[in-house]
Amino acid sequence: MTGFFNTTVGMSYEWSWFLATIIGILVIALPLMLAVAMIIYADRKIWAAMALRRGPNVVGPFGLLQSFADGLKVFLQETIVPAAANRGLFLLAPIITFTVALIVWAVVPFQAGVVLADINVGLLYVLAASSLGVYGIILSGWASNSKYPFYSALRAAAQMVSYEVAIGFVLISVVLWAGSFNLSTIVLAQRAVWPIIPVNGFAFNPLLFPMAVVFLISALAETQRAPFDLTEAESELVAGYQTEYSSMSFALFWLGEYANVLLMCALNATLFWGGWLPPIDWAPLYVVPGIIWLFAKILFFFFVFSWIKATVPRYRYDQLMRLGWKIFLPLSLFWVFLVSGVLMFMRVGI
């Protein structure tokens, strides 16, 4: 795209790069918003089916337009800012959540060479951006100047910081195995991990499979999905940090949350299940474009997320902390040690 503007249109290299990047951002962000709308519908349908209900079925055929109807509704509502709230930060908080959920998509590779920013510190960028997500929630809790959001913010801060540590160590063992922080290189390193049946994906490697499981559970905790949705536990905290929000500021939280869930599914697929590679390294499967494989994997993991939401009861807070600090942290730390030891043995020799 940069080349097109540079040579065909005749702009300078810098400005053609700038324009190409802006277009790239739109090409990713607009379909993502549409996907978020449809994924909310899918989530409600899956959840309803598991509870033997019908789910949304009134607006449009099969209720397909339900999310858009909801969007239109919140758009027309009045934005209410509580009188005691800290106005600036109160309005800033949902914007932070939403933006942070979008910026990480810049480094997700959709296909060979199709990625907005192919940077060599891609995975660190993912960590850096996802560590920002906690600010939206802490700020909304504090700025609301109300009991339940504040409790929720405290819970969210402790929860996200705890599980980020485990996620960091899991990512390090992946990086050690792949030998790169670049997400495209990590995807390519997952080609044919077994000699006889050439399956693509680090999760088929018995050494890395436990880390795939830890990552999936930590991703649930990081996005505050059930069973770790203590920050919006309705039986204790009304709606948690969203209690005082209404109309578009509420919708931004909603969109950001689901964009984050989709992102975590995409990271799961990219880091452990071969990303845009087909599941088996077999030539006819490469006829299907990589982006289809990636989307299939994202949708599969989203189904797993919904499935867990529909079936698993909520954790108690001390159980959540115990799982994060006493189980995942030592396990993933030991695994970094183990993986680097095995790599040392395999590639360098003792």
Partner 1 sequence: MIQAIAFYLFAAVVILSGAMTISSRNPVHSVMWLILAFFNAAGLMVLVGAEFIAMLLVIVYVGAVAVLFLFVVMMLDIDFAELRAGVMRYAGIGLAVAVALAAEVIIAVGAWSAGTLDLTRRVAPIDPVVPNIQAIGNLLYSRYVFIFEAAGFVLLVAMIGAIVLTHRERSGVRGQNIARQVNRRPQDSTRNMQPPVGQGVSL
Residue 11 beta carbon to partner 1: minimum distance, rounded to whole angstroms? 12
Q: 13-21 long-range contacts, Cβ below 8 Å, gap at least 24?
A: 21/116
Number of chain residues interacting with partner 1 (CB under 8 A): 31
Closest CA to 202 of 194, 190, 214: 190
Considering only 5, 90, 125, 148, the residue that binds partner 1 (CB under 8 A) is: 125
Residues 21-40 that bind partner 1 (CB under 8 A): none
> What 3-state DSSP class applies to 180?
coil
Considering only 157, 248, 308, 338, the residue that binds partner 1 (CB under 8 A) is: 157
248 is a contact residue toward partner 1 (CB under 8 A): no
Closest CA to 244 of 320, 152, 162: 152
Where do we find the tokens 């277009």?
23
On whether the CB atoms of residues 185 and 194 are closer than 8 A, the answer is no
135 is a contact residue toward partner 1 (CB under 8 A): yes
Residues 163-182 that bind partner 1 (CB under 8 A): 164, 181
Considering only 100, 138, 212, 255, the residue that binds partner 1 (CB under 8 A) is: 138
Neighbour count for residue 215 (Cβ, 10 Å): 26
234 is a contact residue toward partner 1 (CB under 8 A): no
Where do we find the tokens 């902390």?
321
Considering only 38, 42, 64, 119, the residue that binds partner 1 (CB under 8 A) is: 119
Where do we find the tokens 């239109």?
72
Segment near partner 1 (CB under 8 A); pick from 13-21, 28-36, 190-198, 297-305: 13-21
Residue 334 beta carbon to partner 1: minimum distance, rounded to whole angstroms? 17
Q: Smaller CB distance to partner 1: residue 35 or 106?
A: 106
Segment near partner 1 (CB under 8 A); pick from 8-16, 33-41, 64-72, 282-290: 8-16
Q: Which two tokens stand for residue 238?
A: 């009304």
* DSSP letter, residue 85: S
> What 3-state DSSP class applies to 111?
strand
Q: Which residues pair with 280 in a beta bridge?
A: 199
340 is a contact residue toward partner 1 (CB under 8 A): no
Q: Smaller CB distance to partner 1: residue 153 or 251?
A: 153
Neighbour count for residue 157 (Cβ, 10 Å): 16
Residue 152 beta carbon to partner 1: minimum distance, rounded to whole angstroms? 13
Alpha-carbon gap, residue 46 to 32, rounded angstroms: 20
Q: Smaller CB distance to partner 1: residue 81 or 89?
A: 89
One-character DSSP codes across 271-303: HHS-TTS-SB--GGGGGS-HHHHHHHHHHHHHH
On whether the CB atoms of residues 200 and 281 are closer than 8 A, the answer is yes
Considering only 49, 161, 213, 312, the residue that binds partner 1 (CB under 8 A) is: 161
120 is a contact residue toward partner 1 (CB under 8 A): yes
Closest CA to 86 of 132, 144, 46, 134: 144
Residue 36 beta carbon to partner 1: minimum distance, rounded to whole angstroms? 24
59 is a contact residue toward partner 1 (CB under 8 A): no
Chain residues that interact with partner 1, rule: CB under 8 A: 12, 14-15, 17-18, 86, 89, 119-121, 124-125, 127-129, 131-132, 134-135, 138-139, 142, 153-154, 157, 161, 164, 181, 318-319, 322
